[in-house]
Structure 1
């Protein structure tokens, strides 16, 4: 990644995309268009609704001249892996991709969700050194990035998902080759909540649904003192799980910070330009959506 102190001359038109289903509500175009403008690049970013059946053709189109790559969101972060030429070490470990980088006809999958989440948690003041456990809600691509982030912070992880089999599959991907790693699928009653210092909602529960929660009738007061609830959802800006956590005196943050940080890293991977995260955050101030 090269650093850039300000706008530079544009080398020519460049194109990047978001592939998701749905996609129309995404704020990613707003952020990346602001980044192109700040960097002085002649570039465009388009959010496209791409179904599972359409994904192979959409990914093949990224090999065209002038295309930088794409972001992937629900439901494509895991299925896109089989369509790519290479994976970064992070994407290979996580087995999920949110950023595809095009270089001379080859497509490399990366995962900027994990470092984006780590930076957002750092911004929120989460003390990784405290040794508390982490509960990840969900078992999809975003949950994989959350587990990876927690493990790099040397935390024990419990995965809680509506379908336990999917949680067990996610946990096994880490623990089967590395038995010393503590990633466990669990039902709610199996988790020692007094040891939990961080809950990450990596599911879609609450997205555009103010009354939906992945933790119905949960007593947030049972969490470890100083705990943080981080919800990757950010529309609404305060989800039900955040609202109930705050009512119990527990700190809670939405996913806007993660969204901005992962977008900054994706933009840098495509263009080599290090655009300040404030550019992405400023672009988010006027609306809401999903990554």
Structure 2
């Protein structure tokens, strides 16, 4: 598909601080090429003080929208014209879509995690027990995805009050599944089908872990440990999970799936996730999954 002479290609962006490390440009450029559509994608460092101006700039003609990363996912909420149900429930936006001068905020982290877990072999049995580690924005996205998939979720965090705040937001005594908050020693490890690390532990230090290895030994043999961290490729949590005989996957699949969903929202093109994963591989990213079953 070509544009008339002199017509600039549609543009999309990543706004983050910092932004130079991002692999999103490689993924989206590959997606434009696969879809046969003209378009550019640029990662821009946007300090918090400049976010409002950057968001306003997305209303310009020819702009498709933007991805938002730290520290902007929550701060952008009041700057947008509308929000998806996922963005409202999670309380964060990672994808802004421009349509005719109006900006719509969405959260593709939540469905991106769901799709990545399916790729990792997780079986979605109603009422299964899941333990989420962490109580920040990533944990909220994880809880949203899991509760919508009818999983019983226990949020574990070093500061229990923060985990309890998440559980309170999803408290529904009449629902078939529940979100609870417990300290690690009281969590139902023996019945968990899935553990999701949604904390930042291991992100900058591969020897850091959000969980004592003793808890991993209490998990059933078929439990999947999914670490949202994808760089480094192998965290201490993943190593210790495999040592306990469990399957462990990193977060690269989630990164690719959330990008695929954002690209579809901007362009209407349904590009296979493999295009995004292959682009990450070419960019030197680690494998999308690590575990005894790969």
State the match for 2:291 in structure 1.
Answer: none
State the match for 1:249 in structure 2.
Answer: 245
State the match for 2:30 in structure 1.
Answer: 34
> Cα distance, 1:217 vs. partner?
4.0
Alignment map for 1:1-291 (pairs within 5 Å): 8-10=1-3, 12-129=8-125, 131-175=127-171, 180=175, 181-286=177-282, 287-288=284-285
Instruction: Write out per-residue CA displacement over residues 103-149 of structure 1, whole angstroms, 9 at most, x where no aligned residue.
Output: 11111011111111111111111111164311111222221111011
Helix, strand or coil: the match of 1:100? strand
> Cα distance, 1:65 vs. partner?
1.4
Structure 2 CA distance, aligned partners of 1:30 and 1:62? 21
> Cα distance, 1:89 vs. partner?
1.9
> Cα distance, 1:212 vs. partner?
1.3
**Residues 223 and 217 of structure 1, relative CA distance in 2, 3 Å threshold:** closer
**Residues 47 and 179 of structure 1, relative CA distance in 2, 3 Å threshold:** farther
Structure 2 CA distance, aligned partners of 1:44 and 1:70? 11
Instruction: Write out per-residue CA displacement over residues 21-40 of structure 1, whole angstroms, 9 at most, x where no aligned residue.
Output: 22211111110011112222
State the match for 1:3 in structure 2.
Answer: none
- For the Cα contact (< 8 Å) 1:136–1:146, is it kept in 2? yes
The runs of 5 or more residues in structure 2 that have no matched partner are: 287-294
Structure 1 CA distance, aligned partners of 2:75 and 2:173? 24
Q: Which moved more, 1:155-164 or 1:63-72?
A: 155-164
- For the Cα contact (< 8 Å) 1:13–1:41, is it kept in 2? no
**Residues 254 and 67 of structure 1, relative CA distance in 2, 3 Å threshold:** same
Helix, strand or coil: the match of 2:200? coil
Structure 1 CA distance, aligned partners of 2:46 and 2:146? 30
Helix, strand or coil: the match of 2:170? helix
Instruction: Write out per-residue CA displacement over residues 69-99 of structure 1, whole angstroms, 9 at most, x where no aligned residue.
Output: 1111222222221211101122222222111
- For the Cα contact (< 8 Å) 1:159–1:183, is it kept in 2? yes
The runs of 5 or more residues in structure 1 that have no matched partner are: 1-7
- For the Cα contact (< 8 Å) 1:233–1:254, is it kept in 2? yes
Instruction: Write out per-residue CA displacement over residues 246-276 of structure 1, whole angstroms, 9 at most, x where no aligned residue.
Output: 1110100011111111111100100111112
- For the Cα contact (< 8 Å) 1:142–1:202, is it kept in 2? yes
Instruction: Write out per-residue CA displacement over residues 19-68 of structure 1, whole angstroms, 9 at most, x where no aligned residue.
Output: 22222111111100111122222211111222333222221121111111
Deviating beyond 6 angstroms after TM superposition, the runs of 4 or more aligned structure 1 residues are none
TM-score by length of 2: 0.89
Structure 2 CA distance, aligned partners of 1:93 and 1:50? 25
Instruction: Write out per-residue CA displacement over residues 178-202 of structure 1, whole angstroms, 9 at most, x where no aligned residue.
Output: 6645112221112121011111111
Helix, strand or coil: the match of 1:53? helix
- For the Cα contact (< 8 Å) 2:11–2:40, is it kept in 1? yes
- For the Cα contact (< 8 Å) 1:98–1:111, is it kept in 2? yes
Structure 2 CA distance, aligned partners of 1:51 and 1:214? 29
Q: CA RMSD in A?
A: 1.8
> Cα distance, 1:10 vs. partner?
4.7
Number of residues paired by the alignment?
Answer: 281
